Chains A and B, each alone.
Chain A
Amino acid sequence: MATAPRFWRENPSRYNLVGFKCNACGRYHFPPRILCPQCRRKSVGKIEPVRLHGTGAIFSFTEIHEGTYEQDMNKPYIIAMVEMDEGAKITGQVIDCDACDLSIGTKVRTTLRKLSEEGSAGVIHYGYKFIPVCNGPEAPADK
């Protein structure tokens, strides 16, 4: 079971996609790390916290029918690995759509939703999920 401090500690990344840019190699990463996994010690002092823009494209996805306790009432739900515009890949749920609306390459954006609750009396954990851009509120006018 998650605990409040464990989630709270990661709020900047969970709420606002704060990752980092390694100014040694120029790559964007998510979530934050002490060292760039590529540059290692060369990245010391060159890790710049960066908020990702929040848009990307589906790299792979699945509709989950057997979930966890937290997601038991959400079944079935969709999980995708999303390649963000900055290049970092992130795993998260895709919501407000059906799996049949999605394919590899579908453009998505992040939004803030409930991730889980520690029971009906416990802390609520919020974090990023993805919404297809063409289905969501940011539908381009010509679609």
Chain B
Amino acid sequence: MNGVGIVSYGAYVPHFRITPDEIGKVWGVDGKAMGKGLMITSKSVPAPDEDTTTIAVEAARNMMKRCEVDPEEIGALYVGSESHPYAVKPTGTIVAEAIEAAPDLTVADFEFACKAGTAAIQTCMGLVGADMVKYAVAIGADTSQGAPGDALEYSASAGGAAFLIGREKVIASIDKTYSFTTDTPDFWRREGKVFPRHGGRFTGEPAYFKHVISGAKGLLEMTNTTPEDFTHAVFHQPNGKFPTRVAKQLGFVADQIRKGLLVSTIGNTYSGAVPLGLAGILDEANPGDRIFVVAYGSGAGSDAFDIKVTDEMARYRRDLAPTLTQITSNPKYLDYATYAKYKGKIVKRGD
């Protein structure tokens, strides 16, 4: 698409983890079995002083470290999340200041459940493609909420990734994008409520699978390709089971989804999930690699992308910021009590 693509990227995942086993102990649930079913061995936990803003800032700063783009040349910045710290007041303004891109740019926060970050990428592609801005930043980040004792508690985690979209020194071109959208209430959080609600098994077939498969098929048709044409694939990963199954249904093999499948150790990072999976692939991708991406957001819709790693990747300084392997190495495991404290689930005094 007019040579628009990823100029730089950066990721961030909090330092702390908890295991399904540890969570299960509190609720009389066989957490190990639960984890096995979800294909999750641990999930990331934000520190008490972390939120979507700090995660977005850390990812964006890692993105800026890897390139020589003057932050003042960034004309747009969008943060996609379903856990913006403020209901009113943007996360993006703080990120823009923190990477010294302010004040000459447009900023907004996006929300579309778990695909707000990829919606931001599409918006950035449009702005850059239309020559409205030279560079644009798209971030997907979340500190996702799962009510105590709810099935979501075993997976809901935190993390995010940022992408600098432009036309110069593109390390991965985004050649096509396709979206599939319907009105499907599988998962929601009402204004003013702390925890989301979901439709249980309704989140599966009519929601995740229908939209991811339709999005994937739409893109394959649009690009006249088959799964074999792609080196890597990343699908939204609320757990390990869904993306593995959907990949198989579409005809992708395990090797293709391996590098982008982070959910088993860091959990479901919601708006951060596909952006992080894509970052994980870019950490190791070679020029010529073709990447198939499908994000899913409840409510519901999917965004699919056809991405190709360029020769510029060989010159790109990935080493100037930590890779996901480095970011996620040496985590600290928490017990449930500390986890509850970190997540603000302990009520200490009247506020």
Direct contact of A and B (CB under 8 A): yes
Residues of chain A whose beta carbon lies under 8 Å from any beta carbon of chain B: 11-12, 15-16, 72-74, 93, 95-96, 111-115, 119-120, 124, 126, 129, 135-139, 141
Shortest Cβ distance from B257 into chain A, in angstroms? Answer: 24
Chain B residues within 8 Å of A12, by CB: 97
CB of B144 within 8 A of chain A?
Answer: no
Q: Once the chains bind, are A139 and B322 in contact (CB under 8 Å)?
A: yes
Known: A73-B348, A112-B98. 10 other contacts (CB 8 A): A72-B349, A74-B48, A114-B48, A114-B51, A119-B351, A120-B351, A124-B51, A126-B54, A137-B322, A137-B326
Count the B residues whose beta carbon is within 8 Å of the partner chain — how many? 32
Chain A residues within 8 Å of B351, by CB: 119-120
Most chain A Cβ neighbours within 10 Å, of B62, B98, B349: B98
A113 to B53 alpha-carbon distance, docked (Å): 8
Chain B residues within 8 Å of A15, by CB: 94, 97-98
- Which one, A73, A119, A137, A141, contacts B327 given CB within 8 A? A137
Q: Once the chains bind, are B49 and A113 in contact (CB under 8 Å)?
A: yes
- Which one, B12, B53, B322, B341, contacts A126 given CB within 8 A? B53
Most chain B Cβ neighbours within 10 Å, of A74, A96, A115: A96
Q: How many A-B residue pairs have CB under 8 A?
A: 69
Chain B residues within 8 Å of A95, by CB: 47, 49
Most chain A Cβ neighbours within 10 Å, of B47, B62, B86, B349: B47
A135 to B330 alpha-carbon distance, docked (Å): 7
A74 to B97 alpha-carbon distance, docked (Å): 26
Determine the residue in chain B with the shortest Cβ distance to A115.
Answer: B49
- Which one, A16, A93, A114, contacts B50 given CB within 8 A? A114
Determine the residue in chain B with the shortest Cβ distance to A119.
Answer: B351
Determine the residue in chain A with the shortest Cβ distance to B86.
Answer: A124
Chain B residues within 8 Å of A120, by CB: 351
Q: Once the chains bind, are B49 and A136 in contact (CB under 8 Å)?
A: no
Q: Please provide the 8 A-B residue pairs with the shortest distance between their CB atoms, ordered closest to farther.
A: A113-B49, A137-B322, A96-B15, A137-B327, A114-B49, A112-B57, A15-B98, A120-B351
Shortest Cβ distance from B322 into chain A, in angstroms? Answer: 4
Chain B residues within 8 Å of A141, by CB: 326
Q: Once the chains bind, are A139 and B47 in contact (CB under 8 Å)?
A: no
Contacts A95-B47, A138-B322 known; A113 to B341 CB distance under 8 Å? no
Q: Once the chains bind, are B50 and A113 in contact (CB under 8 Å)?
A: yes
CB of B58 within 8 A of chain A?
Answer: yes
Q: Once the chains bind, are A139 and B326 in contact (CB under 8 Å)?
A: yes
Chain A residues within 8 Å of B58, by CB: 111-112
Q: Once the chains bind, are B330 and A139 in contact (CB under 8 Å)?
A: yes
Determine the residue in chain A with the shortest Cβ distance to B14.
Answer: A96
Determine the residue in chain A with the shortest Cβ distance to B329.
Answer: A139
A126 to B86 alpha-carbon distance, docked (Å): 13
Q: Once the chains bind, are A124 and B85 in contact (CB under 8 Å)?
A: yes
A98 to B310 alpha-carbon distance, docked (Å): 42
Determine the residue in chain A with the shortest Cβ distance to B324.
Answer: A137
CB of B108 within 8 A of chain A?
Answer: no
Q: Once the chains bind, are B98 and A114 in contact (CB under 8 Å)?
A: no
Chain B residues within 8 Å of A136, by CB: 15
Determine the residue in chain A with the shortest Cβ distance to B94.
Answer: A126
Determine the residue in chain B with the shortest Cβ distance to A11.
Answer: B97
- Which one, A16, A96, A137, contacts B100 given CB within 8 A? A16
CB of B346 within 8 A of chain A?
Answer: yes
Determine the residue in chain A with the shortest Cβ distance to B351.
Answer: A120
CB of B344 within 8 A of chain A?
Answer: yes
Shortest Cβ distance from A128 into chain B, in angstroms? Answer: 10
Shortest Cβ distance from A55 into chain B, in angstroms? Answer: 13
Chain B residues within 8 Å of A114, by CB: 48-51, 53-54
Chain A residues within 8 Å of B341, by CB: 73
Q: Once the chains bind, are A137 and B344 in contact (CB under 8 Å)?
A: no
Chain A residues within 8 Å of B16, by CB: 96
| B window 305-348: CB within 8 A of A | 322, 326-327, 329-330, 332, 341, 344, 346, 348
Determine the residue in chain B with the shortest Cβ distance to A143.
Answer: B330
Shortest Cβ distance from B88 into chain A, in angstroms? Answer: 12
Chain A residues within 8 Å of B346, by CB: 73
Chain A residues within 8 Å of B57, by CB: 112, 126
Determine the residue in chain B with the shortest Cβ distance to A98.
Answer: B332
A118 to B61 alpha-carbon distance, docked (Å): 26
Contacts A72-B348, A73-B344, A120-B351 known; A113 to B322 CB distance under 8 Å? no
A41 to B85 alpha-carbon distance, docked (Å): 44
A93 to B326 alpha-carbon distance, docked (Å): 23
